[in-house]
Structure 1
């Protein structure tokens, strides 16, 4: 069975890439071992994050480094056994987080972030998924007056990005979200982002649109990829598939494909958890809430309130560890006392694929004709899936890219 292009991975990045290639006339087959939207795309905080113009950087402040070193913070946790293995990647991440390099990363990522909402909007309308999306932004809350004052100054420094926001003092915040209590001193309401009540459902809706437009989705094994007589072959439920081109959109599993081909990309994994909760009485949240100090997001979802944690550095295949979730849950119950019982039997564990220079890998493989990459979206896979799918499709089909793709080139690591 032959087609023009195979897309490996049916998360938000892979599905979006398949849709954009399809829209440019490519015959595409989408391959995944699971159902679309079952992996990392299922478990995020549901933010289409137009306001994140500065990438998540490694802390540079000595005091913060010492606090994290004690391994008692709710927003970042590490496994002591994993730390020696992760140390070279963390050092590289710390180096790339220096002010000048961080500013360069922000400049390189800005064209993608700026188009993120409009690219989603087009697919949401075409797929009839408007019921899953709200244009109410999200609210960042603060429990420390000094940190709130510092955040205000930092936000004012983002004026050139044209972001829309409102500063909320304590009374204004509580008027907007009446159920918030505890020691909150204020917040910032980011107005540009959109929120999704079922991120996995959104991805599956995009996949259904791909099939509706004539594409095929098949279960298959991406790790079986090999090149034979100039064609790419993959094993699937329908037998062996062959194609002229293959696009690898495998997120945290990307190394399973590129490592056997001889590539050594510095892909790191930041683990994270989520849990759904009921609410007591008729209490509800109107917006997604991010507790900056706690490093968690509390978001209204179709299943209930979803609490998503910050970063855990541990072996990708290590068993789940509830310490971080328990710390964040304790803080969330003080912030939102109406948080009820857990609705999931076990915490969901996800893996964010991160590059130390805070840019994804988008473009052709340096040493294999017909092989393309689109992975490494870190904390913003949901946000950037459609826009990076567009960029990859423009490059592959010879169309003029909407932005210079050089910053995301795989060759920068080769």
Structure 2
């Protein structure tokens, strides 16, 4: 078959989820990607489905914090000084979008999506036999001092109260009672019990891709940049020949603008790089849930490959060589927190997160081209939101009543901004 009802460009959790939701609505669907499903950003993340992700990454207002970041010695954020002029306009947009009004706008828009995120994951996992990857133990965010706890949680916990999201504040003794194998380095922590984690985000994505194929979907390798318009159809090239469809979903993560920029789209899109590496535990030490060391900017997560350390943000060219200085900076802190053994891989893995300055994705029609749909810019919540935004884009394509209001996620929101 060379004609489909829809083609999805991108085989990460976002694209695979959108493709399954389209199949469920009796569409014939092709997924096209250069790599196998779950090999990109969907592989390299902390594997958390966040219920409380309604507080965005904000531009710091505190002068002392800005000074610390400018020194470029922080583990939470690292930047290539030569890249700074390129990213500076985007950072100014981030500052504008994450003031008090912007945070409120983000929270109101994102909370409905986040409220459905775990259920949408569960709906797919039950069919794809991926339930074995999932843990309902929540995740723990630890703070090294009472001052950092107060500064880092005040606004976030207020939103949790507003939206009725459960949390539990723990003192130093309660933290160690919950996770006996971590050292008593945290003064306070917040347990978010309604967040769910997985032991292999790449494994989950691959399981969903197998479900997609078992339902009759097709997966092919090809370059999304071959997309073109022929008469009333979109056409892409694959190894077995061209494929055609009236509707195309762009779910290319950090590579989205490689396709969209030549088509005339000028979106405030940036890529935040990040690293992870797996380690063996020493002895029989273990964790029941992901643990965030907020002050030092990393997540320690039990995975099938070992204990994964996921670093913070790096600003550099998307395809620039790896500079894993953040991993070097957090490793001493992580080893002081938990008895880590030898690394599983010789070098850290490098990935990229696609972000807009308001931290919200675009999920809806592309303004300039009929039949072109965007499911991009999920930032730090790509794994969390993939199944939910997959449902939302499929409902818009098939003209169903959307399960939430898609208006906040329109590409048109950046017009004139």
Range into which the TM-score falls when normalised by the shorter chain: over 0.9
Q: Distance in 2 between matches of 1:282 and 1:133?
A: 22
Structure 1 gaps of 5+ residues are none
Aligned length: 413
Q: State the 4+ residue runs in structure 1 displaced beyond 3 angstroms.
A: 149-156
Q: 1:249, 1:375 within 8 Å by CA — same for their partners in 2?
A: yes
1:409 aligns with 2:398: no
Q: Distance in 1 between matches of 2:16 and 2:147?
A: 43
Structure 1 residue 396: deviation in Å?
A: 0.5
What's the CA shift string for 1:220-273, capped at 9, x where partnerless?
110100101121110102111111111110010001111111111111000000
What's the CA shift string for 1:299-332, capped at 9, x where partnerless?
0000100000010011111100121111111110
Q: Distance in 2 between matches of 1:168 and 1:266?
A: 39
Q: Distance in 2 between matches of 1:121 and 1:37?
A: 18
Partner of 1:386: 387
1:160 aligns with 2:159: no
Partner of 2:13: 12
Q: Distance in 2 between matches of 1:328 and 1:312?
A: 14
Residue 168 of structure 1 aligns to a residue whose secondary structure is strand
Q: 1:182, 1:334 within 8 Å by CA — same for their partners in 2?
A: no
Q: Distance in 1 between matches of 2:410 and 2:312?
A: 28
Q: 1:226, 1:232 within 8 Å by CA — same for their partners in 2?
A: yes
1:47 aligns with 2:18: no
Structure 1 residue 182: deviation in Å?
A: 5.1
Residue 91 of structure 1 aligns to a residue whose secondary structure is helix
Residue 223 of structure 2 aligns to a residue whose secondary structure is strand
What's the CA shift string for 1:48-86, capped at 9, x where partnerless?
011112122221222211111111111111110100110
What's the CA shift string for 1:178-198, capped at 9, x where partnerless?
121153212111101000100
Residue 223 of structure 1 aligns to a residue whose secondary structure is helix
Question: CA 1:153/1:91 → structure 2, altered by over 3 Å: closer, same or farther?
Answer: closer
Question: CA 1:283/1:264 → structure 2, altered by over 3 Å: closer, same or farther?
Answer: same
Q: Distance in 2 between matches of 1:297 and 1:81?
A: 28
Which of 277, 283, 286 is the aligned partner of 1:284?
Answer: 286
Map of 1:318-357 to 2, 5 A cutoff? 318-336=320-338, 338-357=339-358
Residue 157 of structure 1 aligns to a residue whose secondary structure is helix
Q: 1:278, 1:343 within 8 Å by CA — same for their partners in 2?
A: yes
Residue 115 of structure 1 aligns to a residue whose secondary structure is helix
Map of 1:262-273 to 2, 5 A cutoff? 262-273=264-275
Question: CA 1:154/1:35 → structure 2, altered by over 3 Å: closer, same or farther?
Answer: same
Q: Distance in 2 between matches of 1:379 and 1:276?
A: 20
Structure 1 residue 150: deviation in Å?
A: 4.0
Structure 1 residue 152: deviation in Å?
A: 5.4
What's the CA shift string for 1:90-112, capped at 9, x where partnerless?
10011101111121121111111
Residue 282 of structure 1 aligns to a residue whose secondary structure is coil
Residue 226 of structure 2 aligns to a residue whose secondary structure is strand
Partner of 2:189: 187
What value does the CA root-mean-square deviation take over the aligned residues?
1.1
Q: Distance in 2 between matches of 1:343 and 1:228?
A: 48
1:140 aligns with 2:151: no
Q: 1:7, 1:249 within 8 Å by CA — same for their partners in 2?
A: yes
What's the CA shift string for 1:269-288, capped at 9, x where partnerless?
00000000001111111211
Residue 44 of structure 1 aligns to a residue whose secondary structure is coil
Map of 1:232-271 to 2, 5 A cutoff? 232-271=234-273
Partner of 2:61: 60
Question: CA 1:154/1:88 → structure 2, altered by over 3 Å: closer, same or farther?
Answer: closer
Q: Distance in 2 between matches of 1:88 and 1:53?
A: 24
1:298 aligns with 2:297: no
Partner of 2:311: 309
Structure 1 residue 201: deviation in Å?
A: 0.5
Structure 1 residue 165: deviation in Å?
A: 1.6
Partner of 1:396: 397
What is the TM-score of this pair, normalised by structure 1?
A: 0.98
Structure 1 residue 149: deviation in Å?
A: 3.6
Structure 2 gaps of 5+ residues are none
Q: Distance in 1 between matches of 2:156 and 2:355?
A: 25
What's the CA shift string for 1:28-54, capped at 9, x where partnerless?
111111000000000000000111121
Partner of 1:176: 178
Q: Distance in 2 between matches of 1:302 and 1:4?
A: 37
